Amino acid sequence: MKSLDWSLLNQFTLEEQKQILEAARFACAAHFNQRRKSRIWGCENKPDEPRYYEPYFLHPLEVAHICLESKGDSTEIISAILHDVVEDTSVTLKDIEDKFGSDVARIVDGVTKIPAVYGRNKSDLEEATLRKVVISTISDIRIIRIKLADRLHNMRTLESMKREKQIIKSRETLDTFVPVAKQIGAYKIARELEDLAFFYLEPEKYQDSKEKWELMKDTYSQHLNNLYSSFERELGASSLVEDIRIEFSNVYSFYKRLGGITDGIDELVTIKVIVQDLEACYRILGLINTHFHVNSVLKDYIGCPEDNGYQSLHTTLFNPKNDNPRTILVKIRTREMDELAAYGITSEMYSSNKTYASVLAKLFGSVDDICSSDKEFLLQLKHDLIASKIHVFTPSGEMKTIKEGYTIIDFAYLIHSELGDHISGAYVGKEYIPKTGLTRVLKDGDEVKILTGKEERPYYHWINEVSSSNAKKRILKFYNKQLRD
């Protein structure tokens, strides 16, 4: 139990600190006498009495602590502390707004569950609430950041729940919360959620995978230590380098990548080189190319950042002895890039860079527009989020990151709605693709040129053949407009 590390509040002004402390006092009073189902540490075998269960107030404090670690601003921390008071106490949103302002009230409203309505079962309400949270995120990224922190603490204390509830929550976590966390770049939270969900869904496979992974780390520790020493020797003297470290994947990634078979740790071990600034990333890459056996493939996520803001240079070392580990991924980035890769898009970044809002609006908003039921919404969202990513190129050489399964039509609508509405054909490499063949699925590395005609119109049946909710929405919108006109 970490509770709130008050020393982390030193990053805020005195006025902000006062507001956070006032929110803590307010929430403590609101949740007075409420208890969680999780036991106080050391009281697991005590009688079934309220005094042996954790005070409910510790939960919002833990959620606030996760938001603090994730670089949340003061409004996010206050909202995290208050996130359950409207749902679980007599406090109203008006009370929150009067005392802490409209921003906090709006965020608290965004994470509050939809109240029970006669005729709707609990599962339906949870689906409706998730849809509400996702759509609310378009206007304020802090809503989903708090919801992810809330889910993370709930997963950390899931042992107090019945087995059936553990399975339901873990499945929901893997299907929805992990992909959403990755969508906003909160990879540190995503990895912990993956491992916790895996632990409850497949306890035997989890334990087996964890033991094999620990054994593998021990097996290759000498080689990795030697490699680390080589990096320290060749790069450590440079004033451009701030830190060099070796990091391992989480247990769930190991299980997915290798199926638990211990035949190597390719891409499951990463050497991270943290440098001073953007220019230093490329200079250090040059040094690595000079001193180490480097695979020719370079992924430049600095020149072409991911939609969630992720930036880094990726290159791969290979072992000339051809034994394990055969390849090891190297990531070169600044400290700011490293924090973004761990904690995701913050409120400050979201408000200052309209690209992030545009991406989420296109993704979440498109799903919302084409789905009538909450269940359908979550299924389509899961489809859009979990698809693997590939890279394709425009004729000018610009790299575009798209989801695996995207057709040429999906790609056209991703670039611009007008491009999709008036597409007449395309070139994939040097191959001409007529309009009747535009449902072709693109492959990693394809070069795509979209051809258009002023009188061209999308085919209505494409709605059932494209992959992305954005393309479906745009085609539907085009034909709805034609009917109105």
Q: What does residue 70 show for φ and ψ, rounded to 5 degrees?
A: -90, 15
Half-sphere exposure of 14 (CA within 13 A, CB side): 0
d(CA 69, CA 459): 49
Residue 130: CB atoms within 10 Å: 21
CA-to-CA dists, residue 129 to 194, 222, 375, angstroms: 22, 50, 11
Does the annotation count 87 as an active-site position? Answer: yes
CA-to-CA dists, residue 20 to 25, 55, 475, angstroms: 9, 19, 47
Partners of residue 55 on adjacent β-strands: 35
Q: Give the tokens for residue 23.
A: 């929110």
Peptide bond into 320 cis (omega under 30): no
Catalytic option among 16, 73, 87, 202: 87
d(CA 308, CA 311): 9
Amino acid letter, residue 40:
I
Q: Is the dihedral of CA 358, 363, 364, 369 positive or negative?
A: positive
Q: Give the tokens for residue 137.
A: 């995120």
Q: Give the tokens for residue 235.
A: 């790069």
Q: Give the tokens for residue 130.
A: 């998730």
Detail the DSSP E strand segments found in 276-418.
Answer: 294-300, 313-318, 327-334, 389-393, 399-403
Q: Is the dihedral of CA 244, 248, 249, 254 positive or negative?
A: positive
Detail the DSSP E strand segments found in 48-134.
Answer: 53-55
Does the annotation count 88 as an active-site position? Answer: yes
d(CA 435, CA 459): 9
CA-to-CA dists, residue 421 to 36, 392, 411, 415, 437, angstroms: 53, 21, 12, 11, 16
Catalytic option among 16, 22, 69, 88: 88
Detail the DSSP E strand segments found in 249-398.
Answer: 269-275, 294-300, 313-318, 327-334, 389-393
* For helices 187-201 and 163-172, angle between their N-to-C axes, nearest 10 degrees: 140
Show which residues are catalytic: 87-88
